Amino acid sequence: MQPPKFSQLKSLPQSRAENSSIVPFLLVIGGATATGKSALALALAQRLLGQNQGGVILSADSRQVYREFDIGTAKPSARDRQQVPHYLIDICAPTETLTLAQYQHQAQSLIQRFHQVGIPPLLVGGTGLYIDAVVKGLRIPPVAPQPELRRQLAALGQPHCYSLLKRLDAIAAQRIHANDSVRTIRALEVYYVTGQPLSALQGEAPPDYPVLYLGLDGDPLSLERRIAQRTGDMVAAGLVEEVTTLVETYGADLPLLQTLGYAELLPYLRGDCSLAAAVDDIVLHTRQFAKRQRTWFRNRATVQWFDADAKHLVDQVWEWLSNRVYEC
């Protein structure tokens, strides 16, 4: 597949900080779903705009890159996108697959272009691997998904595949859990396509610009309430209608429709469960997903954490950011 066309690259804002002495930096806002990352990013970007320091947001969400998947992925509203430029949203058709390497390339290109005109971008989202790909400069093997090879490997079963991996790439096998079929098959896929072990092709090349990394977290009970509220808001905003349209357009087997917030509604559309039961499943699965996200981000040692429920969160973050920027 050819890399998606990024028309956004042709319409970048002009320099807003030509006389600024601030070294171009990247602000990262990560954390679990429903912690308020988008709202915080919007407020900070508006303040940067007000201080003539630019203010643009790059999405780090693996589903917001796809067009037509709007409500269920919690994309920023049209009004928010009018107030602050957003990038890496709606850049790929639902029938295409955006690889991690393609995302990384486009994000790095945008950051470079923004820095050239003196604008510090904000990288915002809950897809930790997307963020790592940028801030760590992950070296990603340029191997596109091989559906037929994956099917053949999956048919062998995970125990057999993992045994193969231990023989072909012992280093990768040490890093991958014996029950992790997704990563096991990916490692074998890279080996069979390139003839080289995945471990030999990986590594890191961190960027040479400063990265300021903050995370949002809070009380688990508060997060559960946020998730329930947001799910209800999505349904009220037309999530069921969105899923119905997507099924009618692409069919229920579309891979994106098997993801969180969409897959749970398919049984309801088939008449196999009530809407209330489907919504309860979305809330439950989102809570489980948020728990995994919290674990991922908590293992990032460079993150400065803030309470998502803090009364004066924006002011707290702005003070921290202002102090750190002039240290860069």
Residues 132 and 256 both lie in one domain: no
Q: Which burial class, exposed, middle or buried, applies to 239 when counting CB atoms under 10 A from its CB (0-12, 13-18, 19+)? A: buried
- Are 212 and 197 spatial neighbours (Cβ–Cβ below 8 Å)? no
Residues 46 and 129 both lie in one domain: yes
pLDDT of residue 6: 42
Domain with 284, as residue range(s), is: 220-295
Residues 276 and 160 both lie in one domain: no
Report how many domains make up the chain.
3
Per the rule left: phi > 0, alpha: psi between -120 and 50, beta: everything else, 140 is beta
Q: For 20-30, what is the mean pLDDT?
A: 82
CA distance 137 to 131: 9
Q: Which of 174, 201, 228 is the last residue of a domain?
A: 201
Q: How far is CA 171 from CA 128, 168, 176, 182, 198, in A?
A: 23, 9, 9, 17, 9
Q: Tokens for 234, please give them.
A: 């999505």
Query: Is residue 125 situated within a structural domain?
Result: yes
Residues 87 and 209 both lie in one domain: yes
Give the tens place of pLDDT for each residue, 229-287: 999 999 999 999 999 999 999 999 999 999 999 999 999 999 999 999 999 999 999 99
Give the tens place of pLDDT for each residue, 177-235: 999 999 999 999 999 999 999 999 888 889 999 999 999 999 999 999 999 999 999 99
CA distance 39 to 53: 19
Q: What is the domain-level CATH number for residue 191?
A: 1.10.20.140
Q: Which burial class, exposed, middle or buried, applies to 192 when counting CB atoms under 10 A from its CB (0-12, 13-18, 19+)? A: middle
Q: What is the domain-level CATH number for residue 55?
A: 3.40.50.300
CA distance 144 to 99: 7
Q: Which one, of 91, 192, 182, lies nearest residue 141 by Cα?
A: 192
Query: Is residue 253 situated within a structural domain?
Result: yes
